[in-house]
């Protein structure tokens, strides 16, 4: 396993629709492992293949499913769940939407307010090519939507209603 370089704007691969994955071999398994290691090293909660310069429909996400439950005092020690989804597609979306602050490893030093569906259902293939479906809500649903957007060449800044540098909000008197 190795940490890959995360590409940033204006890299063209970030604006292209990624190709469907059709070959499930040891090279794909190594790529998925590299993506997980890269996401953790960044650190991030999700990573799409275009973010490492590959136009492939692959996302990896690592998240503590009940992370939003602040009453859980042991959440730092709880294991996070890792998803590797190939050719993911959102097949159901809640009518309810939520606005939240997002950032992106491929757009460093910017965050923005983005409205996303509160819950989604995603279908795709697992790392071995077997069909899978999952339901996600809250922050996890936001992560899936963000990463799937990457596969379609859409960046969070295109969906954001307001974009800023994080230090702008913390220390507004400071010049950028």
Residue 147 is among the residues annotated as catalytic for this protein: yes
Residue 166 lies in a domain: yes
Q: What is the pTM of this model?
A: 0.88
Predicted local confidence at residue 164, as pLDDT: 96
6 domain-assigned: no
In terms of DSSP bridges, do strands 58-63 and 97-104 run parallel, antiparallel, or are they unpaired? unpaired
pLDDT at 6: 98
Half-sphere exposure (CA, 13 Å, Cβ side) for 174? 8
**Containing H/E element for 58?**
strand 58-63
CA distances to 101, 102, 150 from 106, in Å: 16, 12, 10
Is 47 domain-assigned?
yes
Residue 134: domain span:
12-170
Is residue 3 in some structural domain? no
**Residue tagged active-site, from 56, 62, 102, 147:** 147
pLDDT at residue number 64: 85
Domain membership of residue 2 (yes or no) is: no
Domain count across the chain: 1
Taking the C-alpha atoms of residue 58 and residue 46, their distance in angstroms, rounded to an integer, is 11
Q: Report pLDDT for 168.
A: 55
Residue of 108, 88, 92, 119 whose CA lies nearest to 156: 108
pLDDT of residue 75: 52
Query: Would you give per-residue pLDDT tens digits along the chain (176 residues)?
Result: 899 999 999 999 999 999 999 999 999 999 999 999 999 999 999 999 999 999 999 999 999 866 454 444 455 566 789 999 999 999 999 999 999 999 999 999 999 999 999 999 999 999 999 999 999 999 999 999 999 999 999 999 999 999 999 875 544 333 32
Domain CATH for 50: 3.90.45.10
Residue 121 within a domain: yes
In a domain, 74, yes or no: yes
């Amino acid at each position: 396993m190795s940490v890959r370089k995360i590409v940033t704007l204006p890299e063209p691969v970030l604006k292209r629709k990624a190709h469907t994955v059709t070959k499930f071999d040891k090279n794909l398994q190594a790529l998925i492992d590299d993506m997980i290691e890269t996401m953790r090293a960044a650190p991030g909660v999700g990573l799409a293949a275009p973010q490492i310069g590959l136009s492939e429909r692959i996302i990896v996400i690592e998240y503590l499913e009940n992370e939003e439950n602040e009453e859980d005092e042991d959440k730092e020690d709880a294991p996070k769940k890792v998803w590797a989804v190939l050719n993911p597609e959102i097949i159901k979306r809640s009518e309810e939407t939520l606005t939240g602050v997002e950032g992106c490893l491929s757009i460093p030093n910017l965050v923005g307010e983005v409205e996303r569906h509160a819950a989604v259902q995603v279908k795709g293939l697992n790392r071995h090519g077997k069909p899978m479906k999952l339901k996600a809500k809250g922050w996890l649903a936001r992560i899936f939507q963000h990463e799937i957007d990457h596969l379609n060449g859409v960046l969070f800044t295109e969906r954001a209603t307001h974009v800023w540098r994080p230090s702008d909000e913390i220390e507004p008197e400071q010049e950028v």
